[in-house]
Chain A
């Protein structure tokens, strides 16, 4: 099962290595990882999507908590989370195909970020499954390059994770 884990850490050099190292040496599977600074510049937030059963999830949370630089750890139920990934896709696009691709962009609410004679670059921010579908739609045109970020997540409603 996939779990989305939010981790608040001290914004020091080496913290990411500690977190990543913990996952590697304890053989926990990471699907994606995203890091960025929070409203407090001394604190960074790491969002990890990990795979494992309930036992593994409990171990991950406990072991993360043991790292001295980890301030807070929280795993929130999928249904209570707003999750987003960003994808940039460069697709082959002849002038004749342009309008077709522009209409795909419209329907999927993707942005047209760049365009050249033979390619078009689309940008979409959405949850994981939507991005997958988006990719499927573009595949027939020939994807030249695709860049995806890790998932970031925030709780729905007024609940928040701060220190």
Chain B
């Protein structure tokens, strides 16, 4: 008998190895035990999270930094269900993850047995694709396809559900080199005629603008974007998912657009005569900035044809991989100036940039983030959670070669710490700092244990305002009454950190920020800063 005959569980591990997987994030349970039993004897490092959702978020942070699919694992029933929020979060942000779940024995499916959940059914709206493994001989093919589907085209999560008895069955291990799915052939090359149209439109425009979204990262097109911006002197703005795909100190960069964006960026979108949407799906929070664009030529470049024309009416659609399209475009464009337009925007940028004021008895978070800017390394990774704190971070952090991560599409509280853990595993040599509110902190602080157990040197900044701040802002604005946003009773997070053996400091006045940040960043262990901010500090301008 061939030595390639092995259990499905073992073949799953061999497949992951063949796929080049080094780290996986998971949480065990009965139905996934056969797989774990094989995983432990491999050299793939398993990071044991403290809640499945965080395994999913960690895989997402990991994927965003490596460009490869992150892997997360859960058991059947409650374990798999706990993953769903993370799967949906990754789906909304087009992040490639492969989620592996255990399932009850195949002959018991559909009988409501202990810890049975129809996970492929429940996750269907949030996955790019999913599989239930019924035939042991299909496992290698399925895993290969799962990675391929997750990573190519518009990336996204793929779920593989494996019944426990199938994990114990025998199969022949053979990892296919190539994938052929007749019904899945994403377009990557841009249509030449359309590229010519884009080049012509750039030539004709007096006030061109590029809005660069998360797709630029997914396609690895930062360099090409920078070249295009500088050869043609086109001002550039970001959606939240696109933040840090262009050097934020670049003269031609005008900040984040949209509901929570800055004045210069929103002015730029409403006054340009050519808008090039680059891997930006123009979600509703971004679209609010696009008021009257009747006379604007709009070019939308995206790998997913379904995004083009969905939220914004487009003059010229270009479907394909951004890196390829920009490379094609760079070959046919020529130098341009647009001095007047750039001056106009620069003036608005400098006149609208305010220096955050120092607060009495509390810290101005914007000032704190600006202080953080002067300490972080050039290529630092900053993970923003959700809420007012996210907007403060998005609009005040200055990254040059660094990376900004956040759950832009789903706005999932509790994303930052687990995503930071994943990001740090992916790039151990880069500083990784997560920033969150005191509300979101309480949705994720169990992951401090994960950081400690696995020696993952992540930094956490908690902005304490004793409120679910962003919801409170909304209530103040629209409902005039506050309800269920006061989170009095929350613990001292410095003591929580200490309980996990993590060093923590309090920042109650901006004068302490400098030293505290220095201490945090110079430590070679996880570190927490508890920053007391003004209760009334707003994010909506």
A62 to B305, Cβ gap below 8 A?
Answer: yes
A5 within 8 Å of B by Cβ? no
Whole-angstrom CA separation of A71 from B184 in the bound complex: 8
A17-B124, A25-B125 in contact; A71/B183 too (CB < 8 A)? yes
Contact between A10 and B183 (Cβ–Cβ < 8 Å)? yes
Instruction: Known A-B contacts: A25-B125, A63-B306, A68-B128. Give 10 more (CB < 8 A).
Output: A9-B183, A10-B183, A14-B120, A17-B121, A59-B310, A65-B305, A66-B306, A68-B149, A68-B183, A163-B182
Interface string of B467-490 (1 = CB under 8 A from A): 000000000000000000000000
Report yes or no: B184 in contact with A18, Cβ–Cβ below 8 A: no
Within 8 A of A (CB), among B414-467: none
- B309: Cβ under 8 A from any A Cβ: yes
Complex alpha-carbon distance, A58 and B307, angstroms: 11
Q: How far is the CB of A17 from chain B (nearest CB, A)?
A: 7
Q: Which residues of B contact A63 (CB under 8 A)?
A: 306
CB of B193 closer than 8 Å to a CB of A: no
A70 interface hit (Cβ, 8 Å): yes
CB distance from A59 to the nearest CB of B (A): 7
Return the contact of A62 from the options B124, B181, B183, B306 (Cβ within 8 A): B306
Determine the chain B residues whose CB is within 8 A of the CB of A70 once the complex forms: 183
Interface centre among A9, A25, A66, A69 (most CB of B within 10 A): A66
Q: Which residues of A in the span 64-98 have a Cβ within 8 Å of any Cβ on B?
A: 65-66, 68-71
Give 23 CB contacts A-B under 8 Å.
A9-B183, A10-B183, A14-B132, A17-B121, A17-B124, A18-B124, A25-B125, A58-B309, A59-B306, A62-B305, A62-B306, A63-B306, A65-B305, A66-B304, A66-B306, A68-B128, A68-B149, A68-B181, A68-B184, A69-B183, A71-B182, A71-B183, A163-B182
Residues of B within 8 A of A163 (CB): 182
A21 interface hit (Cβ, 8 Å): yes
Cβ of A41 to closest chain B Cβ, rounded Å: 15
Taking residues whose C-beta sits less than 8 angstroms from the other chain, chain A's interface range is 10 to 19
Q: Which residue of A lies closest to B306 (CB)?
A: A62
In the complex, chain B residues whose CB is within 8 Å of the CB of A71? 182-183
A25 nearest CB neighbor, chain B only:
B125
Q: Is there a chain A Cβ closer than 8 Å to B129's Cβ? A: yes
Measured in the bound complex, the distance between the Cα atoms of B185 and A65 in whole Å is 10
CA distance A21 to B129 in the complex (A): 13
In the complex, the chain B residue whose C-beta lies closest to that of A72 is B183
Count of inter-chain pairs, beta carbons less than 8 A: 32
Residues 115-138 of chain B, each 1 if its beta carbon lies under 8 Å from chain A, else 0? 000001100110011001000000
Residues of A within 8 A of B182 (CB): 71, 163
Chain A contacts for B128, CB-based, 8 A? 68
Counting from the closest, the 8 A-B pairs by CB-CB distance are A62-B306, A71-B183, A68-B129, A68-B184, A25-B125, A21-B124, A62-B305, A63-B306
Q: Provide the bound-state CA to CA distance between A9 and B182, in Å.
A: 11
Contacts of A21 in B (CB 8 A): 124-125
With both chains docked as a complex, state the minimum distance between the C-beta of A55 and any C-beta of chain B, in angstroms.
Answer: 8
Q: Residues 91-122 of chain A: 1 if any B CB is under 8 Å from the residue's CB, otherwise 0?
A: 00000000000000000000000000000000
Considering the complex, which residues of chain B in the window 248-291 have a beta carbon less than 8 Å from any beta carbon of chain A? none
- Distance in angstroms from B454 CB to nearest chain A CB is 34
Task: Give the Cβ gap from A63 to chain B, nearest Cβ, in Å.
Answer: 6
What CA separation (Å) do A18 and B131 show in the bound complex? 12
Q: Shortest distance in angstroms between A65's beta carbon and chain B's nearest beta carbon?
A: 8
> Given the complex, which residues of B lie within 8 Å of A9, measured CB to CB?
183
Bound-state CA distance A66–B184 (Å) is 8
Contacts of A17 in B (CB 8 A): 121, 124
Q: How far is the CB of B450 from chain A (nearest CB, A)?
A: 33
**A-facing mask of B171-205, CB < 8 A → 1, else 0?**
00000000001111000000000000000000000
Report how far A157 CA is from B120 CA in the complex, Å: 41
Q: Which residues of B contact A14 (CB under 8 A)?
A: 120, 132
A122 to B181, CA, bound (A): 45
| Chain A 1-42 interface mask (CB, 8 Å, partner B; 1/0) | 000000001100010011001000100000000000000000
Q: Report Cα–Cα, A14/B121, bound state, in Å.
A: 9
> B151-163 toward A: CB 8 Å interface, digit per residue (1/0)?
0000000000000
Cβ of A69: which chain B residues have Cβ within 8 Å of it?
A: 183
Residues of B within 8 A of A55 (CB): 309
In this complex, what residue of A is CB-closest to B183? A71
Closest Cβ of chain B: how far from A40's Cβ, in Å?
A: 11
A36 and B184 CA atoms in complex are apart in Å by: 22
Chain B residues near A10: list those with CB within 8 A: 183
